[in-house]
C-alpha cells in the first residue's frame, strides 16, 4: 500500500492511497479523509460509493464533505468505481466497464475476472482500512446514482455490517431501467431472476434487518423519470413496512452541486447512528 496524495483539510488530512487488490486482480486507488479526532483515537468509518464515470477523486474534490467529517469525527473512505488497468475488460460508452462497476460480483466473461466490486467494498477494502488506519468497528455507507444503488444493495445484502445507509439520486430498481438492464445483463448474463439479488426494490421484500433508508432526490434531475424512479423503492418498502424517507428536493439536478448542498445532512445522519 502506498500513499500517493496528502492534503491538510479542516484540521485533518485528505489522502489517496493505491494498493494491489487480490479480489479485483488489479491495482486500485481509494481516498480516505482522516478528521482531527483520528489523531486522538479510533473513529467510525463512512464509506462513499460514487456514480458512473467517477473515480475516487470526484467526491473528495466536489462534495465538500471534509468540513462535516471533521466536525463529526468520522473517517470517510471513497473507493474507485470499478477495476482499472490495461488487462481489465472495458466497453464503449460511459455506462459499462471501467467507471461503471455497479458494485456487483460479475459472473459472466470477460467481466468475471476483475469485476468483483461487491466483495471488494464489503470485505477486502474494509479489512485494509481496519489494518492500517485508526478506525473503530462501526461502519456506515452512502453513495450517489450508481453508488447510491451500491450503498442500498450492499447494506440490504449484508445485515449487521452497517450502522446506517443513505443515498443521493440512487438507481433503486436496476432490473427495470436501461442503465441497470445493460450492466446486469453484461455482468451477470441473461437470467433476469439472478439480477434481483442486486436490486434494492427486490431485496427489501426479504430483508432481515429493517435498516432505515434515507434518500435525497432532486426533482429537476435529468435522469429521474427514466433511470432512477425512487417511487418504486418507496412502494416496495411500504408493502413490507421497511422504513424509508424520500426527500424530494425542488430545483436540484443530478450533479455534485446537489450533493454538496445536502452532504452535511447525510454525514450528521450517519454520525448519529455510528456514535449511538
User: Which residues are annotated as catalytic?
Assistant: 145, 221, 254
| Cell numbers representing residue 242 in the block | 421497511
Phi/psi for 25 (5° steps) reads 55, 50
The H or E element containing residue 58 is helix 56-62
Record the cell numbers describing residue 91, joined without a space.
Answer: 466497453
Find how far residue 2's CA is from the centre of its chain: 23
Whole-number Å distance between alpha carbons of 11 and 25: 35
Q: How many CB atoms lie within 10 A of CB 77?
A: 24
Q: What is the CA radius of gyration of the chain?
A: 17
φ, ψ (nearest 5 deg) of residue 223: -105, 0
Question: What does the alpha-carbon distance between residue 96 and residue 270 come to, in Å, rounded to a whole number?
Answer: 30
Amino acid at each position: 500500500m502506498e500513499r500517493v496524495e496528502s492534503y491538510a483539510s479542516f484540521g485533518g488530512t485528505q489522502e489517496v492511497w493505491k494498493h494491489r487488490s487480490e479480489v479485483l486482480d488489479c491495482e486500485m486507488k481509494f481516498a480516505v479523509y482522516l478528521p482531527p479526532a483520528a489523531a486522538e483515537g479510533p473513529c467510525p468509518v463512512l464509506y462513499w460509493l460514487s456514480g458512473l464515470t467517477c473515480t475516487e477523486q470526484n467526491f473528495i474534490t466536489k462534495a465538500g464533505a471534509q468540513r462535516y467529517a471533521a466536525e463529526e469525527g468520522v473517517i470517510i473512505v471513497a473507493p474507485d468505481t470499478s477495476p482499472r488497468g490495461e488487462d481489465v475488460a472495458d466497453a464503449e460508452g460511459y455506462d459499462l466497464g471501467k467507471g461503471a462497476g455497479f458494485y456487483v460480483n460479475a459472473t459472466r466473461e470477460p467481466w468475471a475476472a476483475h469485476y468483483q466490486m461487491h466483495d471488494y467494498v464489503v470485505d477486502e477494502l474494509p479489512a485494509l482500512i481496519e489494518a492500517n488506519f485508526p478506525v473503530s468497528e462501526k461502519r456506515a455507507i452512502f453513495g450517489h446514482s450508481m453508488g447510491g444503488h451500491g450503498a442500498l444493495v450492499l447494506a440490504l445484502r449484508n445485515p449487521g455490517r452497517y450502522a446506517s445507509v443513505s443515498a443521493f439520486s440512487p438507481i433503486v430498481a436496476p432490473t427495470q431501467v436501461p442503465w441497470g438492464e445493460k450492466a446486469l445483463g453484461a455482468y451477470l448474463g441473461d437470467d433476469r431472476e439472478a439480477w434481483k439479488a442486486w436490486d434494492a426494490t427486490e431485496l427489501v421484500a426479504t430483508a432481515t434487518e429493517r435498516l432505515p433508508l434515507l434518500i435525497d432526490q432532486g426533482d429537476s434531475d435529468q435522469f429521474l423519470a427514466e433511470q432512477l424512479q425512487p417511487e418504486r423503492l418507496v412502494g416496495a418498502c411500504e408493502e413490507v413496512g421497511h422504513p424509508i424517507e424520500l426527500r424530494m428536493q425542488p430545483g436540484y439536478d443530478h450533479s455534485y452541486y446537489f450533493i454538496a448542498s445536502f452532504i452535511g445532512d447525510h454525514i450528521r445522519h450517519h454520525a448519529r447512528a455510528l456514535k449511538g
